[in-house]
């Protein structure tokens, strides 16, 4: 059963591969009785058909985007009526108008002392907690100003909600991801800001690491996503976090997180309160939306609250997607031994450099990095958590293998031209 309308949604999202033009995507069935204790198979559509080609993956990625927006993160608004930008000193003032309302926000840019313009850049969600790399500009995005995240009473506050209403379905993280998309729009329109918009990454730590992952997933112009110690709601699997808690280790779970803050849509509450097994996705698939663009996850095994095993299982599962797309080394992870939360350990520097040097500075480096200081067993396939066998590779569709980097969006993600 194929629905051309869904294909149309995908087509309107952004620049798309001819493969997606050539086929329509499977429709998403009603999933009200969905219940799956294992991590959902990346390579099976919600309707049961298999993902066999790169064009199928483009459809599956769009399906995952739709489901994540619907059940967990809230809706990403479409392209706004207008985005204008003015650059002065080190401040990029961005004005967005939509539905007759306007907001302005003003990220600041710190330029590197080496390298030459236009510079690659990292957008820091609430700043960065990794050392600023040589030759790379840092764009400081005040995400709290876009979507407040003080506590559970912050719902619907911040500039995003001034524009789209305090009842918008988006949680704070989707509001921040929208802000990242507007920063990209603004940079593209403002050559005087001297940023190379084909070489922009995103990073953030802890709660802002969750946000960095969501931004990387929902903004296809981001070429390198670096979530740091993002924990539950970031690189962790909801299902694995629940199991860790059930086994007696105090770790953050969906049912706790929805009370702590407003990072998610209120649509997520029903799943978090009843059972995360009813979610037709988990965060290995949120990560999969980034594929085959680069993702490097930085973790810390020292805090039970961060659920490093829940992250590990999701990371191992997610990497099968990059492998099937023929880009395994574009996805890496490093789980370092215990250290102070969000204080980047020097032991991870070489690994981080490898990703930054390859994906932001265009060098040839070895990014085959899959390390953990934890004593974890998690293989794929895995009889308990991942009882699916990933294809060794997906069949390229009309030579469009690499074009899947432009998907990960549906109509509701907007139509930024990539
Ligand atoms: C790891 O991110 C969060 C965590 O989800 C919260 O439960 C805790 O309160 O704060 C962490 C954080 O953002 O630390 C800076």
Among 197, 208, 199, 217, which Cα is nearest to 68's?
Answer: 217
Which range (15-19, 138-142, 259-263) has the least confidence?
A: 15-19
Of 296, 313, 299, the closest CA to residue 365 belongs to 296
Q: Give me the mean pLDDT over the 312-333 stretch.
A: 98
17 versus 301: the higher-pLDDT residue is: 301
Supply the residues annotated as catalytic.
206, 341
Side-chain-side CA neighbours of residue 104 (13 Å): 9
CA angle 33, 35, 39 (to 5 degrees): 145
Does the structure show a pLDDT above 70 at 415?
no
pLDDT tens, 211-234? 999 999 999 999 999 999 999 999
- pLDDT at position 171 over 50: yes
- Distance CA(26)–CA(19), nearest Å, equals 14
Of the candidates 224, 280, 105, the residue with the CA atom closest to the CA atom of residue 175: 105
Question: Mutate which of 207, 232, 298, 306 to test ligand 1's pocket (most atoms within 8 Å of Cβ)?
Answer: 207
Residue nearest to atom 8 of ligand 1 (CA): 207
* Dihedral class, residue 326 (left if φ above 0, else alpha if ψ from -120 to 50, else beta): left
pLDDT, residue 10, reads: 32
272 pLDDT higher than 90: yes
Give 16-51 pLDDT, tens digit per residue.
Answer: 333 344 469 999 999 999 999 999 999 999 999 999
**Residue-level pLDDT at 23:** 63
207 lines ligand 1 (CB under 6 A): yes
Report the distance separating Cα 116 and Cα 181, nearest Å.
24
Q: Whose CA is nearest to atom 4 of ligand 1?
A: 207
The pLDDT value recorded for residue 133 is 98
| Whether the predicted pLDDT of 205 surpasses 80 | yes
Q: Quick one: 346 exposed, middle or buried, by C-beta within 10 A (0-12, 13-18, 19+)? A: exposed
For residue 17, the model assigns a pLDDT of 37
Shortest-distance atom of ligand 1 to CA 208: 13
Tell me: pLDDT of 328 over 60.
yes
Q: Three-state SS for 162?
A: helix
Q: Is the dihedral of CA 179, 185, 191, 196 positive or negative?
A: positive
Ligand 1 atom with the smallest distance to the CA of 342 is: 15
State how far the Cα of 302 lies from the Cα of 131, in Å rounded to an integer.
Answer: 20
Q: Which DSSP string corresponds to 346-392?
A: GGGHHHHHHHHHHHTT--------EEESS-----SSBTTTB-----S
21 CB burial (10 A radius; 0-12, 13-18, 19+):
middle
Task: State yes or no: pLDDT of 403 exceeds 80.
Answer: no
Q: Quick one: pLDDT band at residue 413, thresholds 50, 70, 90?
A: very low
122 vs 180: CA distance, rounded Å: 11
Alpha-carbon distance 270 to 274, whole Å? 6
Distance 308 CA to ligand 1 centre (A): 13
User: In this structure, are residues 291 and 406 in contact, taking their beta carbons and an 8 Å threshold?
Assistant: no
Please give the number of the atom of ligand 1 that sits closest to the Cα of 233.
Answer: 5
């Amino acid at each position: 059963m194929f629905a051309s309308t869904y294909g149309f949604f995908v087509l309107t999202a952004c620049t798309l591969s001819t493969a997606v033009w050539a086929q329509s995507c499977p429709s998403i069935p009603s999933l009200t009785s969905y219940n799956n204790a294992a991590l959902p198979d990346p390579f099976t559509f919600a309707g049961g058909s298999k993902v066999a080609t790169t064009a199928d993956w483009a459809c599956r990625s769009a399906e995952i985007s739709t489901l994540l927006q619907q059940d967990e993160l809230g809706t990403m608004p479409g392209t706004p009526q207008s985005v204008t930008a003015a650059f002065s000193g080190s401040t990029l003032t961005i004005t967005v108008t939509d539905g007759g309302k306007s907001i302005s926000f003003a990220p600041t840019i710190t330029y590197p002392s080496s390298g030459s313009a236009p510079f690659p850049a990292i957008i820091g969600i609430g700043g960065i907690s990794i050392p600023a790399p040589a030759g790379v500009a840092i764009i400081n995005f005040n995400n709290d100003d876009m979507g407040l995240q003080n506590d559970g009473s912050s719902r619907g506050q911040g500039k995003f909600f001034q524009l789209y209403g305090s009842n918008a379905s988006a949680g704070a993280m989707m509001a921040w991801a929208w802000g990242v998309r507007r920063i990209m729009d603004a940079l593209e329109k403002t050559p005087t800001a001297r940023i190379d918009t084909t070489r922009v990454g995103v990073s953030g730590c802890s709660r802002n690491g969750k946000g960095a992952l969501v931004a990387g997933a929902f903004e296809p112009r981001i070429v390198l996503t670096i979530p740091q110690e993002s924990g539950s709601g970031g690189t962790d699997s909801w299902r694995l976090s629940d199991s860790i808690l059930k086994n007696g280790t105090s770790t953050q779970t969906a049912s706790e997180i929805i009370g702590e803050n407003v990072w998610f849509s209120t649509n997520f509450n029903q799943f978090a309160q009843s059972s995360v097994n009813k979610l037709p996705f988990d965060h290995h698939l949120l990560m999969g939306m980034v594929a085959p663009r680069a993702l490097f996850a930085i973790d810390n095994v020292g805090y039970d609250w961060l659920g490093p095993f829940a992250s590990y299982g999701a990371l191992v599962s997610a990497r099968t997607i990059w492998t099937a797309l023929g880009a395994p080394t574009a996805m890496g992870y490093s789980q370092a031994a215990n250290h102070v939360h969000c204080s980047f350990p020097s032991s991870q520097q070489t690994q981080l450099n490898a990703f930054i040097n390859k994906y932001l500075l265009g060098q040839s480096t070895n990014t085959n990095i899959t390390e953990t200081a934890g004593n974890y067993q998690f293989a794929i396939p895995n009889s308990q958590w991942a009882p699916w066998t990933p294809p060794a590779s997906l069949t390229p569709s009309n030579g469009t293998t690499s074009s899947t980097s432009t998907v990960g969006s549906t109509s509701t993600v907007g139509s930024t031209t990539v």
